[in-house]
Structure 1
């Protein structure tokens, strides 16, 4: 099994369509999909992100510049995510295809790297592994 992150990327069209629908209806639609993921045993995490409460830290200057966020253009927004534990990228794609459709939205799928993929003799990897074991993440 591997972890894949499904990153929800809305558009202006997506936001307009969402504002047309009653909030309870959206909750039910997304809730049904979440329930499918839970029943299938593949859901590890799922969160929506608040579009209003955020900042951007820009490291292109010293010290880093902090500005209100997220970004100015909708196409750069990251609206929420799912983390799934599935057998393959193809399975992650199949789940993404089943997500509730919102006009203009896109979903980016990225494999989540595991600590075992890094050099196990590196002191920082050793420290992180110990922390993960201590907190029940491994």
Structure 2
């Protein structure tokens, strides 16, 4: 089962405040534990919403609104992607989040990720093959950009 751990934004992340050296150290240790356990497969922090945009479609036509966005509690500051055996195991990892983040007051959200099997018959073998090809191409592109 795959899950996303969503780190909700707060006034500090929305202000673009960079984490302290201690928080970076603690997050790296946490990430390293998950990688060594074979559960973490990606994770990133997000820049403040002032650098973002929202795109809303109405009648199929896009309207773009530049950030910042007023409700920080509705925004995310980062995410971690994990693969575990159960929701309970995912929650155990979430509970180990570094306690100094957000000065001890951080909100995390855990959401399960849809997998091909969840879509049933609508996810035909042809669509599955196309989806795998797209993922493979994206992985190659990502690996190339890290060089």
Bin for the TM-score computed over the shorter chain: 0.7 to 0.9
Deviates more, 1:84-93 or 1:99-108: 99-108
Report 1:14-93 matches (<5 A): 15=13, 23-51=20-48, 52-60=50-58, 63-69=61-67, 71-93=69-91
Unaligned runs of 5+ in 1: none
Q: Which runs of 5+ in 2 are unaligned?
A: 141-147
Name the SS for the 2:61 alignment partner: coil
Higher relative contact order (CA closer than 8 Å, sequence separation 6+): 1
Aligned position for 2:106 = 105
Higher helix residue share: 2
Query: Corresponding residue for 1:11?
Result: 10
Say if 1:123 and 1:71 are closer, same or farther in 2 by CA, change over 3 A.
Answer: farther
* Secondary structure class of the residue paired with 1:41: coil
Structure 1 residues 67 and 128, CA gap change in structure 2 (3 angstroms): same
Aligned-pair Cα RMSD in Å: 2.8
3-state DSSP of counterpart to 1:59? strand
Contact map agreement 1:55 1:67 (CA 8 A) in 2: yes
Contact preservation (8 Å) 1:70, 1:77: no
Contact 2:13 2:77 in 1 (8 A): no
Deviation at 1:124, TM superposition (A): 4.1
- Would the alpha carbon gap of residues 63 and 129 (structure 1) be closer, same or farther in structure 2, given more than 3 Å must change? same
